[in-house]
Amino acid sequence: MRIIKWIARIIALILLIFGLLFYFGYGNPLPFVNPDYSLWENVALFMMPIIFIGLALGWKYEKIGAYLIIIPMLIVFLGGVAVHSNFSSNMLLPLIPGILYLIVGYKKK
């Protein structure tokens, strides 16, 4: 379990660092402010801070962090399917630490 926990933490840290750079480099990261963004982009911009919080919170509270990653990811995927009928496969990366956090959280005593 210790190895899975540290793999999840390292992946989450890497995703958090690069994700925040891209999130703030996207221009205006506030959702529903720029009228040029599509509905799917606004939903993704709304959910990304929750995912970032889940990635960071998973270091201490694995279950809460996992749910803060997995549930917003499902909403983004469903929104992407509803609007575009496709989604970016690189958005699957946060699910890796999310699932690992969930495994560690439920295997703890």
d(CA 100, CA 17): 19
pLDDT value of position 87: 63
Query: What are the pLDDT digits (tens) for 22-77?
Result: 888 867 778 888 888 877 778 888 888 999 999 999 999 999 999 999 999 888 88
In the chain, domain spans: 2-107
Instruction: Specify the pTM.
Output: 0.84
Q: Does the pLDDT of residue 88 top 80, yes or no?
A: no
d(CA 18, CA 108): 29
User: Which of the given ranges, 12-16, 24-28, 38-42, 89-93, has the highest pLDDT on average?
Assistant: 12-16
